[in-house]
Structure 1
Amino acid sequence: MYKRLKILVILLISALVSFILYGSSVFLITTINTMKERELFCDEKPLTLYQPTQSCRTTIVTAYYVIKSKYPKEDYIDWIANFLSLKDCMVVYTSTELYQTIKSLRPDWFPLKIIVKNLEDLHLYQALTPEEWGEQERMDRELPNGHNRLLYIIWNEKSHFLHDVALFNPFHSEYFLWLDMGALRHNRFNGKFLMQSNLPAEKGILLLEINPFHEEELILENGICNTDFSKVERIGGGTIGGDLESIRKWTSYYFTVFRRYLSEGKFVGKDQNMMATVCIETDICLIVKPTSPWEGNRWFFLQDYFLGRHNQKPYRLNITENREYLTVSD
Structure 2
Amino acid sequence: MNRRKLSSRNRSITAAILAVIGIFAVCSPNRNTRSLRSNTRDAMKFKFSEETLQQAADFQQQGQKFNSTIATALFEFENSKHPIEAYIDWSKDSLCINDAMVIFTNVPEKIAPLRAHALDRTVIVPMQITNVQVGDNIHISEEQWELQNEIKSSYKPFDFNINLFRVWAGKSWLATQAVHLNPFDSEVYHWMDIGHFRGTSHFCGETVVRHPEIVPQDSMLMFMRRGLKPGIDNPESVVVEDMFRMTYIPGGWIAGRAHVWPTFLQRFEETIAMYFLTGVSIVEDQAILESTCIRNKGLCSLVRLDNHLGYVDPSEQFEQCFSEQECKERAGWRQGVNRFFHMKYYFWHGGNFRFWDPSTGFPTEDEDFGLYHPYEVDSSGVEAIKQ
Q: Which structure 1 residue ranges, 5 or more long, are not aligned?
A: 1-49, 322-330
Task: Say which SS state the counterpart of residue 153 (structure 1) adopts.
Answer: helix
Question: Once the 2 structures are TM-superposed, how far is the Cα of residue 154 of structure 1 from its aligned partner?
Answer: 0.2
Question: Once the 2 structures are TM-superposed, how far is the Cα of residue 214 of structure 1 from its aligned partner?
Answer: 4.7
Question: Once the 2 structures are TM-superposed, how far is the Cα of residue 93 of structure 1 from its aligned partner?
Answer: 0.5
- The one of 343, 347, 368 equivalent to 1:306 is 347
Inter-partner Cα distance in structure 2 for 1:144 and 1:298: 25
Q: Percent sequence identity over matched residues?
A: 24
1:36-85 CA-to-partner distances (Å, cap 9, x unmatched) read xxxxxxxxxxxxxx993211000000010013234332222121112111
1:142-199 CA-to-partner distances (Å, cap 9, x unmatched) read 2334633111100111111111211231100000011001111121211111101252
Mark the CA change 1:161 to 1:130 in structure 2 (over 3 Å): closer, same or farther.
Answer: closer
Mark the CA change 1:167 to 1:155 in structure 2 (over 3 Å): closer, same or farther.
Answer: same
Inter-partner Cα distance in structure 2 for 1:70 and 1:215: 30
Inter-partner Cα distance in structure 2 for 1:93 and 1:154: 11
- Are the aligned partners of 2:240 and 2:288 in contact in 1 as well (CA < 8 Å)? no
Q: Which residue of 1 aligns with 2:283?
A: 269
Q: Which residue of 1 aligns with 2:182?
A: 169
Inter-partner Cα distance in structure 1 for 2:264 and 2:209: 21
70-79 vs 263-272, which deviates more? 70-79
User: Which structure's CA Rg is the greater one?
Assistant: 1
Q: Which residue of 1 aligns with 2:196?
A: 183
Report the TM-score when normalising by structure 2.
Answer: 0.63
- Are the aligned partners of 1:281 and 1:319 in contact in 2 as well (CA < 8 Å)? no
Q: Which structure 2 residue ranges, 5 or more long, are not aligned?
A: 1-59, 311-332, 363-387
Q: Where in structure 2 are the equivalents of 1:247-326 lying within 5 Å? A: 247-283=261-297, 284-290=299-305, 291=309, 294-295=334-335, 296-308=337-349, 312-319=353-360
Mark the CA change 1:66 to 1:57 in structure 2 (over 3 Å): closer, same or farther.
Answer: same
Mark the CA change 1:281 to 1:124 in structure 2 (over 3 Å): closer, same or farther.
Answer: closer
Task: Say which SS state the counterpart of residue 170 (structure 2) adopts.
Answer: helix
Report whether the alignment pairs 1:158 with 2:171.
yes
Query: Would you say how many aligned residue pairs link Structure 1 and Structure 2?
Result: 266
Mark the CA change 1:51 to 1:88 in structure 2 (over 3 Å): closer, same or farther.
Answer: farther
- Are the aligned partners of 1:218 and 1:319 in contact in 2 as well (CA < 8 Å)? no
1 or 2, which has the higher helix percentage?
1
Q: Which residue of 2 aligns with 1:121?
A: 131
Higher relative contact order (CA 8 A, sep 6+): 2
- Are the aligned partners of 2:70 and 2:192 in contact in 1 as well (CA < 8 Å)? yes
- Are the aligned partners of 1:305 and 1:311 in contact in 2 as well (CA < 8 Å)? no
- Are the aligned partners of 1:58 and 1:174 in contact in 2 as well (CA < 8 Å)? yes
- Are the aligned partners of 1:254 and 1:275 in contact in 2 as well (CA < 8 Å)? yes
Report whether the alignment pairs 1:94 with 2:135.
no
Inter-partner Cα distance in structure 2 for 1:107 and 1:237: 28
- The one of 221, 230, 242 equivalent to 1:230 is 242
Question: Once the 2 structures are TM-superposed, how far is the Cα of residue 311 of structure 1 from its aligned partner?
Answer: 5.1
200-209 vs 257-266, which deviates more? 200-209
Which amino acid letter does the alignment assign opposite residue 141 of structure 1? S
RMSD: 2.6
306-315 vs 183-192, which deviates more? 306-315
- Are the aligned partners of 2:67 and 2:185 in contact in 1 as well (CA < 8 Å)? yes
Mark the CA change 1:76 to 1:146 in structure 2 (over 3 Å): closer, same or farther.
Answer: farther
Question: Once the 2 structures are TM-superposed, how far is the Cα of residue 269 of structure 1 from its aligned partner?
Answer: 1.4
Question: Once the 2 structures are TM-superposed, how far is the Cα of residue 245 of structure 1 from its aligned partner?
Answer: 2.2
- The one of 153, 168, 171 equivalent to 1:140 is 153
Q: Which residue of 1 aligns with 2:64?
A: 54
Question: Once the 2 structures are TM-superposed, how far is the Cα of residue 237 of structure 1 from its aligned partner?
Answer: 0.8
Report the TM-score when normalising by structure 1.
Answer: 0.73
Mark the CA change 1:320 to 1:309 in structure 2 (over 3 Å): closer, same or farther.
Answer: closer
